[in-house]
Structure 1
Amino acid sequence: MSSDSARVDSQKAPEPVGLYPHARRVGNLLFLSGVGPRERGTKKIPGVELDAEGNIVSYDIEAQCHSVFRNVRYILEDAGASWDKLVDVTVYLTDMKKDFPTFNRLWAEYFKDNPPCRTTLEINRLPTPIAIELKCIATIGGE
C-alpha cells in the first residue's frame, strides 16, 4: 500500500460484510465503503423483521436511516473527521417510492445547515437484508 493511502477501521461501526475497510484516507479526502444500518457485533438491523429464511417481512425505514447516519458518524469520528466534513453522499434505497419521502425528511433534519452533494438511486437489493446504504466522501485534516 502506498504511504499516501491509509486504511480506517472503526471500532464502533458494524463489521464489514466482505474484505474491505470502513474507509480509506487519501490526502485530505476520506472515502467510506458502503455503510448500512446494522449494529456492531450482531446481525441485528434496527427496524427489520425477518422470516426463518432471512427474508424481509417488514422494515422501518426511519429506524434504518437513523442507524445508518449513526454508523457513518462513527466511521467519520474514528477517522478523525466529522459529520460537517461530508462533501458527497450516494444513497441506495431498495424502494424509492415508499422510502424516499421519509429519507428526504430525515436528511433535511440531519443536514440543516450545510448539506453535502447527494445522489439517490433505487436498487433491486443490497448484500444484507437492509433497505438503505450510503457511500460517502468527506474531507479530513487541513482545509
Structure 2
Amino acid sequence: MSPNGDAFLLDPNTPPGPSRYAHARIAPASAHRTIYVSGIAAVTPDGKLEGATQNADGTWNLDIKEQTAAVLRRIDAIISGASNGKGGIHNVIDSVVYLTDMKSHYAGMNEEWNKVFTDRVGAPARATVGVQELPDPRFIVEVKVVAVVDFE
C-alpha cells in the first residue's frame, strides 16, 4: 500500500491515457474507510462522452443533465467497485461540482443531483464552482467526492 492508501481503478485493463490519476483512493483505517474519488467527467471506460453529440457542421450539442447523470452513475460505480460492493453514491459525504457555465448549467445539474440525493438529510456537503474550462472542451461538468464506507 502507498502512504496515501490503496488506489482504485474502475477498469484497470484500460490503457493509460495522458493523465495519471486513480479513480479513487482508499485511505487506511479501521472498519470505516474513506474513499477519495478524483474529478470525474461523463466519459465511459471505453472513451465515449455521454451528453455530447456532434452536429453535421462539426459543432457539439452539450447536455448538462445527461452529463451530470452520467457523472453520478460513474461515481456510484467507482465507489461500489472500490468498496467491493459495500458502498455507493449514497456514501458520499463531501463533493465539489465544477461547471463551465454557472448561469446556464447550474439548474440542470442541480435537477439531476436532486434525483439522486432526494433530501438534505442524505445529501453530501457540496460546493459548486464555476470554472473557465475543464480538460476537454466538451466537458461541462466534473464532480469530485469523498465517501465513507463501512467495510465490515
Which residue of 1 is the match for residue 80 of structure 2?
77
1:35-79 Cα offsets, whole Å, 9 max, x none, are 11011112x211213479xx8632111110111011101101001
- Residue of 59, 73, 96 corresponding to 2:102: 96
Which residue of 2 is the match for residue 9 of structure 1?
9
Partners of 1:75 and 1:51 lie apart in 2 by: 31
TM-score, L = length of structure 1? 0.85
Q: Is residue 59 of structure 1 aligned with residue 45 of structure 2?
A: no
Q: What secondary structure does 1:121 align onto?
A: strand
Q: Gaps spanning 5+ residues in structure 2: where? A: none
Kindly indicate whether the alpha-carbon contact (under 8 Å) linking 1:22 and 1:75 is maintained by their aligned counterparts in 2. yes
Kindly indicate whether the alpha-carbon contact (under 8 Å) linking 1:89 and 1:136 is maintained by their aligned counterparts in 2. yes
Q: What secondary structure does 1:76 align onto?
A: helix
Q: CA offset at residue 30 of structure 1?
A: 0.6
Which residue of 2 is the match for residue 140 of structure 1?
149
Q: Gaps spanning 5+ residues in structure 1: where? A: none
Residues 121 and 130 of structure 1, relative CA distance in 2, 3 Å threshold: same
TM-score, L = length of structure 2? 0.81
* Correspondences of 1:1-40 after superposition (within 5 Å): 1-2=1-2, 5-11=5-11, 18-26=19-27, 27=29, 28-40=33-45
Which residue of 2 is the match for residue 86 of structure 1?
92
Partners of 2:6 and 2:54 lie apart in 1 by: 37
Partners of 1:97 and 1:3 lie apart in 2 by: 40
Length, aligned pairs only: 139
Partners of 2:78 and 2:115 lie apart in 1 by: 20
Kindly indicate whether the alpha-carbon contact (under 8 Å) linking 1:48 and 1:56 is maintained by their aligned counterparts in 2. no
Q: Which amino acid aligns with 2:65?
A: E
- Residue of 128, 131, 135 corresponding to 2:140: 131
Q: Which amino acid aligns with 2:82?
A: A
Q: CA offset at residue 93 of structure 1?
A: 0.5
Q: What secondary structure does 1:115 align onto?
A: coil
Which residue of 2 is the match for residue 48 of structure 1?
52
